[in-house]
Amino acid sequence: MGLWTPAKKKRIARSRIVGTRRVVEAIAAAEVKPEVLVCASAIGFYGDRGEEDLTERKTVGKGFLAETVQAWETEAYRTSDTRVVCLRTAVVLGRKGGALPVMALPFRFGFGAKLGDGKQWMSWIHLEDVARLALFAVENLDIRGPLNAAAPWPVRNADFTRLLAKQLHRPAFLRVPAFLLRAALGDFSEEILDSKRVLPSLACEHGFGFQFPEVEGALKDLLG
């Protein structure tokens, strides 16, 4: 969160890239190699893609996040001794910590608002489904490479705003213009305004069943 200064961008990239490099080096040095490395990754890989359906087969997008995630995953794939799965995680919704408490706070005080025009796609996933999908990746030997950790029904920001307000029994008639978000948050605003319609194609092909496929059910579970 907050402004992405050049120094902060450098810290973000280094923590992901160098951290993963050290893990891969440890695997290379280990006498007994692990059978699988499930590496954290992010849907920032895809960049701002509008209405495009983003499956694991899509190429990398543009921008700081896309470049960082691509370099991050590249480090994971350097291991030749271990099956690698890069879990490209969407916005994780959980009861404590993460995105949801931060997003819900202004709504609780009656200041809920859609961001920009509200038409941008928001990909999300319930915390329980992230944990189950990571275990699924470990247990299914046919899964390797990128794996989208996103619920099968992404929503537009305007719809998420409406459903969150409904669950909290608060109004949400406001709108924060995109230019204000860009002025206040700089490059971090792309996290909020970019449109990513990410689909869990590989998970569904391998028979993974989401406990929370739709955001309304996830919000009821987490905030009810």
Convert the pLDDT of each residue in 32-60 to its tens digit: 999 999 999 999 999 999 999 999 999 99
pLDDT value of position 185: 82
pLDDT value of position 17: 95
Q: What is the pTM of this model?
A: 0.94
pLDDT value of position 2: 62
DSSP tag of 51: T
Percentage of residues of the chain with pLDDT beyond 70:
99
Contact in structure between 44 and 66 (CB atoms under 8 Å): yes
pLDDT value of position 45: 97
pLDDT value of position 113: 94
Which residues of the chain are modeled with pLDDT < 70?
1-2
Domain 6-223 has CATH 3.40.50.300: no
C-alpha–C-alpha distance, residues 163 and 139, integer Å: 35
